[in-house]
Chains A and B, each alone.
Chain A
Amino acid sequence: MTKLIYVAIISAFVNNVVLGQMFGVNAAIKGSEKMSNALRLSLCVLIVTFLSSVITWPLSEFVLGKFNFEFLQTIVFLLVEAIIVAILTAIVNRWFSHRRKIYGRILPLIVINSAVLGVILTNVQVGYSFLRSAVNSVCGGLGFAIAVIILAGVRERIAFNDVPKPFEGVPILLVTSGLMAIAFYGFTGLL
């Protein structure tokens, strides 16, 4: 149990998906424009990462691994993600139709979010057990959420500041992420 908490802290903080491993930086920058959007994006990433890792782990262990077809991982995992996203879109359209417009914009982009693909590929390539990869993907999703939400919060503040003209837009967000990355290194001391 302590082992899993340890894994959780590592993947959510010390080796944060966005700030440490640098997966899904574009999605984080784009998604942090508004706090409400950041929350929705994080939720989608979390759900899709978890569901796809639960499906792709056995798929890679018992099907691809058995025939030594590891090279198919990328395309097969992307198809799994796409199917999950299609199902989630159908669920939103059916039961949450008042939200369909908002999620209709977010969900299709999850397929090409490198945070999701990065986490599920790492899980199988490093050779984690099923439980550990499930924990790792939930915490990877949480790590993404933490980064995006903090970034969205900081962005609200930046809006009231005078940023040097050339640094307006993406550069100042990258500088912010860099500072956050330094701060997150501090979590190394926890372990």
Chain B
Amino acid sequence: MQKKDTIFTRLYHGILVENPTAVLCLGLCPTLAVTTTAKNGLAMGIVTGIVLVLSEFFISLLKRVIPKKDRMIIYVLISACFTTIIQLVLNAYYPDISESLGVFVSLTAVNGVIFGRADNYAMQNNPGLALFDGIGFGIGYTLIITILGAVREILGIGTIFGIRVIPDGYTLSIAALAPGAFFLLACIIAVAQKIKGGRSA
């Protein structure tokens, strides 16, 4: 049953079949917290994606020297290292984004997607494939977090990427608050489960 892994299957799995947010339900904290606007969602997705790609690549490269027992701490060190570098770059060149994402940029270091992929993929496969696995899952993660951000921005603030689509005063402000994030993410995952259920039946 195990088909040959190719670059294409990695991307396909990451974006659709095993989408990290909608199917595997990993890394939900930033997905819920920073998605008040589509722009924030997109930025957070890209940050997570970059850290994921770099971490997976290096973990795969180092897989022979990582002691099985201590792999968690090594993963943490590697992801924290790249997270900090991305944070420094954001501070220098995109200070606005760094400010509006706040502490969640730092929390990328403990994002569940990174540890899930490191353990389940990067440790067993070669660095080239791990790189594309990271790209696929990074895109998949970015996709859902941006969609959630867009929906919340339209409903909660009445704009999309800053362009007004719903007049002020007709917005549903709960969508911009914490409960709205929980409800809308639940709907997105439910849609994904519906599609998945329909296909396997």
Using a CB–CB cutoff of 8 Å, the interface residues on chain A facing chain B are 19-26, 29, 71-75, 78-79, 82, 108, 111-114, 117-118, 121-122, 125, 164-172, 174-175, 177-179, 181-182, 185
Contacts and interface: CB of A to CB of B under 8 A. Distances in A.
A19 to B, nearest CB: 6
A166 B194 contact: yes
B103 interface: yes
B166 interface: no
Interface size class of B (residues with CB under 8 A): 35 or more
What are the 3 tightest A-B residue pairs by CB atom distance, in nearest-first order? A178-B182, A174-B186, A166-B194
Nearest to A126: B103
B71 to A, nearest CB: 10
A18 to B, nearest CB: 9
Chief secondary structure at chain B's binding surface: helix
A165 to B, nearest CB: 6
B84 interface: yes
A170 B107 contact: no
Interface of B: 25-29, 32-33, 72-73, 75-77, 80-81, 83-84, 87-88, 91, 103, 106-107, 109-112, 115, 178-183, 185-187, 189-191, 193-194, 197
Contacts of B181: 22, 178
Contact of B110 (A72, A112, A175): A112
Interface of A is mostly: helix
B185 A174 contact: yes
Contacts of B193: 165-169, 171
A108 B110 CA distance: 13
A3 B194 CA distance: 49
